[in-house]
Structure 1
Amino acid sequence: MVSLLSNSPCTEFVNPQLSNHPLQLLQLHRPTHNLPPTSSQSVKILRLQPNHSNGLSLKKKKNEKKGFITARSSISDVLRLMDGLGFSIPIGMYVSFIEECTASGDPHTAMELHTHITRIGVDHPLSFLNRLLLMFASCGLVENAHHLFDKMSVRDINSWAILLISYFDNADYEGVISLFLNMLDQVSILELPNWISVFILKACAYTMNLHLGKQVHGLLVKLGISDDSLLTCSLIRFYGKFNCLEDANMAFNKVARHNSFTWTAKIVNDCREMHFYEVIDDFKEMGRRGIRKNSFTVSSVLKACGRMPSHGHCGEQVHATAIKLGLASDTYVECGLIDVYGRSGLVREAKLVFEMIHNRTNVACWNAMLNGYMQNGLYIEAIKLLYQLKAAGLNPQESLLKELRIACGGSREVEFT
């Protein structure tokens, strides 16, 4: 077992909040001939979907809409035809079928195909078994994937990674941690790709396991890769969930070259801890360093502006920056602008932004505008907007409804239907 480093504990906690990172392990290539895949062929890990109790029926309906039932029928027909003619199926054809099932996510076809392959009773190379693992994982068949994994006499880092991500996407974060610890006993830590550590840190945050997260951080330091921007971003977010800003800032300061993701992660942490002036300073520093802001950066800064006594000037400056960057029409930015103008008493500006929003079905923008009217005592306008919201088929935030009822007479009998 690898000896992991640990740091001092932190006692304050906040709710975890995580973001997705696209995974790419190896790349799938559809074989052009009926030749068995070599060990140099690569496999692409697709984004896996969580497996719920009714996952098979949900996936079936979803795949029917996408036309995957046709693909399923064609694979089944080919298998039956080849069996009827007494022909053996080349491994290259199996690989094509596995790739198709992996892309479609059809669990029924995946199980049928695996049964057909198992019936042959031929030992397959590791690369082929990893493809089967990936197929099961992509179809949400985590138990099938684990059963196949247990039967594999030889495994590599790809085998462990596929199963680990399938557990993560199935929201079994305790299982992710358990599998990771077992993996450290079987695989050299030098083989671990950086993105696996990203998912382990996310699993630690979901399970509120600060101690293991600190051990993973210590392992990254020991390997000399803790200053990687991807890992740094994950560490900043991880420590932010536990209110360990000192550790988060320490990880941030060790990076030689920052990008928009590391800066945004720091800004989100500072905003969560209500360090609003530091948020503005970080936003300005990003501009001085020429680091491009994204919509998440701008929306986070707008949240800070709405809670500062700047009388709307801060929000107006960020609004101008958003227009300059072409981000003013982003849904999150639009909601942030409506909120900051409403909180600053600039109701006319908030209404102008609201009238220009592109996605009229986004209830968050309606709630922000409704809250802006109510915070400024414009209850008649709030009631008018509420009826418009109802006419659009949307439901307002319940707490806003209660507040509006109180303002309109303090009676629970006041209804807006």
Structure 2
Amino acid sequence: MKAIVVPPPPAPPIHRNADKTSTTTCPSSNHQLHLRLPLYNPNPKNLSLLPNFPHQPSPQPITPHVNKNNKEKKKKENKRRKCDTTSHILPLMDALHFPIPIDIYTSLVKECTLSGNPETAIELHTHIINSGIEPPLNLLNRILIMFVSCGLLENARHVFDKMSARNFHSWAILFVAYYENSDYDNAVDVFLGMLCQLGVVEFPFPPWIWSCFLTVCACTENVPLGMQVHGCLLKLDACDHVLVSSSLIRFYGRFKCSEDANVVFNKVSRHNTLTWTAKIVSGCKERNFSEVLGDFKEMGRVHGDAIKLGLDSDNYVQCSLIAMYGRSRLPRDAKMVFEMTRNERNVDSWNAMFMGLIQNGLYIEAVKFVYQMKEAGVQPHEPLLEKLRMACGSSTFSSMN
């Protein structure tokens, strides 16, 4: 047999540039306004209810050598590009004398919300005002979110005060903004104003907003207002919700009202880790350690009943047990339940164990656990990773994304 010699492939063409360098070329629905005010603020600090005021990058694999500065620069560049989109489109449309439709304004507001650039947010809002259009309610709500995301709370309040019509989302955006910024006095005023417009009975308020408002009452030490909220929730038959009941228990526990906290706890039809933890913390604040130990035994009895009924192999029950022990400052018991589920673990079980380590301050073990999750092909929840980074006080773990 004769050997066949295959000639090498031709080299790619090289182009000479003018600078003597070479380049190779390779082949909401409308709500009626019912003014009802069943709640009032016993300790008002503001004279008026509503005072007037003048893209995610693709996940990157973990590499041993990562330049943190370059990664931060890339994030800043991505934000700049989003801001540049607004800065380029608006002058271009103005130069062409094209009217900008509502949907384009909505897209620009979304991009500006993600970028968080305050200068671009103000520029975009000014352009919307000067255009002469009447923004619909959903666009105004998005503008509120944009200003809040950019840290322009006064601008958001200014837009809110000028809105001719408001729905639940309008009020909730401003309330949550004040709540997150620890401006509890304004949060109380906005919440009471929302009750006046929407009506307590007419509008079904979600449990989470009642929970937030109870937290506001606790932080401002406004016990009478919190008790009025409790009475209102009793009339609405909303105290059986786990989120609401746990918030009420924490509220009474903060002021060492253990009897009221126990009344709320005993009226809940089904308990979970939120209600148990709230009750235990409330008992610890009043130094009722015998009662706290009894609660721990009761929680252990629940685990024993689950084993007797053969429910300990259920993924939902396993995840709940891990979360229960983690919230109760029993990481060893949580780890024991987690190890028992070696062959039947799911994403929720992994993240419940990860959350338990963070809640108990076991940050070094939590970091090791992240790599175990990566090895098992499980992606940790981003909010938990963010909590771990904040707890460690640095961006050392930024490569865990």
Deviation string for 1:222-257 (max 9, x for gaps)?
112121122112212222222222222222222222
Are residues 214 and 285 of structure 1, via their aligned partners in 2, closer, same or farther at CA, if it must alter by over 3 Å?
farther
Whether the aligned pair in 2 keeps the contact of 1:63 and 1:104 (CA below 8 Å) is no
Question: Normalising to structure 1: TM-score of the pair?
Answer: 0.60
Q: Which amino acid aligns with 2:37?
A: V
Please give the per-residue CA displacement for 1:286-336, whole angstroms capped at 9, x wherever unaligned: 323665546663245446xxxxxxxxxxx8666533533667964754895
The answer as to whether partners of 2:83 and 2:120 remain within 8 angstroms in 1 is yes
Mapped partners of 1:147, 1:225: distance in 2 = 34
Q: Is the 8 A contact 2:325 2:333 kept in 1?
A: no
Change (3 A) 1:335 1:183: closer
- 3-state DSSP class of the match of 1:67? helix
Q: How far did 1:213 drift? A: 1.0
Matched, 1:280 2:268: no
The change in CA–CA distance for 1:124 and 1:331 in structure 2 (over 3 A counts) is: closer
Residues 324, 73 of structure 1: alpha-carbon distance in 2 compared, 3 angstrom cutoff? same
Structure 2 SS opposite 1:359: helix
Counterpart of 1:357 in structure 2 is 365
The code of the aligned residue for 1:228 comes to H
Alignment of 1:144 onto 2:155: yes
Alignment of 1:389-404 (within 5 A): none
Q: 202, 223, 226: which one pairs with 2:236?
A: 223
- Letter of the 1:197 counterpart: W
Please name the residue that 1:363 is paired with: none
Residue identity opposite 2:157 in structure 1: H
Which residue in the other structure is 1:94 paired with? Answer: 105
CA distance in 2, matches of 1:337, 1:163: 33
1:72, CA displacement in angstroms? 0.1
SS of residue paired to 1:167: helix
CA RMSD of aligned residues (A): 3.5
Identical aligned pairs, as a percentage?
41
Q: 157-166 vs 328-337, which deviates more?
A: 328-337
Q: 2:76 and 2:105 mapped to 1: Cα distance?
A: 25
Which runs of structure 2 are paired with 1:277-356 in the superposition (5 Å)?
A: 277-287=293-303, 288=305, 292-293=319-320, 297-302=324-329, 320-321=336-337, 323-324=339-340, 330=354, 332-333=356-357
Question: 1:357 is paired with a residue of what secondary structure?
Answer: helix
Q: Extract unaligned runs of 5+ from structure 2.
A: 1-35, 42-71, 312-316, 342-348, 369-391, 394-401
Question: What code does the residue aligned with 2:38 have?
Answer: S
Q: Say whether the 8 Å CA contact 1:5–1:219 is kept in structure 2.
A: no
Residues 285 and 245 of structure 1, relative CA distance in 2, 3 Å threshold: farther
Asked if residue 252 in structure 1 is aligned to residue 271 in structure 2, the reply is no
C-alpha separation in 1, matches of 2:361 and 2:340:
15
Cα–Cα, structure 1 residues 186 and 94, in superposed 2: closer, same or farther, change >3 Å?
same
Name the structure 1 match of 2:84.
73
Distance 1:214 1:266, change over 3 A: same
Equivalent residues of 2:86, 2:108 under 8 A apart: yes
After TM superposition, the structure 1 = structure 2 runs for residues 118-137 of structure 1, keeping only pairs within 5 Å, are 118-137=129-148
> Is 1:237 equivalent to 2:264 in the alignment?
no
- The aligned counterpart of 2:93 is 82
Counterpart of 2:182 in structure 1 is 171
Residue of structure 1 in register with 2:196 after alignment: 185
Q: 1:285 to 1:108 in 2, by over 3 A?
A: farther
1:296–1:245 Cα change, 3 Å: farther
State which structure, 1 or 2, has the greater radius of gyration over its C-alpha atoms: 2
Query: Is this contact kept in 2: 1:298–1:322, CA < 8 A?
Result: no
Q: Partners of 2:193 and 2:329 in 1: how far apart?
A: 44
Cα 1:174/1:337, change in 2 over 3 Å: closer
Residue deviations 1:380-413, cap 9 Å, x none? xxxxxxxxxxxxx99xxxxxxxxxxxxxxxxxxx
Residues 331 and 252 of structure 1, relative CA distance in 2, 3 Å threshold: closer
* Letter paired with 1:136: F
CA distance in 2, matches of 1:329, 1:196: 28
Give CA-to-partner distance per residue, 1:63-103, whole Å, 9 cap, x none.
Answer: 95372111001111011111111111111101111112223
Unaligned residue ranges in structure 1 (runs of 5+): 7-60, 304-314, 339-353, 361-392, 395-417
Residue 2 (structure 1) shift: 2.8
Note if contact 2:37-2:192 (Cα within 8 Å) is conserved in structure 1.
no
What is the distance in 1 between the residues matched to 2:184 and 2:73? Answer: 26
1:16-48 deviation digits (Å, cap 9, x = unpaired) = xxxxxxxxxxxxxxxxxxxxxxxxxxxxxxxxx
Alignment partner, residue 210 of structure 1: 223
> How much has 1:358 moved relative to structure 2?
4.6
Per-residue CA deviation, residues 266-305 of structure 1 (Å, 9 max, x unaligned), is 33333444344123223214323665546663245446xx
Distance 1:112 1:262, change over 3 A: same
Taking the aligned partners of 1:72 and 1:137, their CA distance within structure 2 comes to 16
Displacement after TM superposition at 1:196 (Å): 1.6
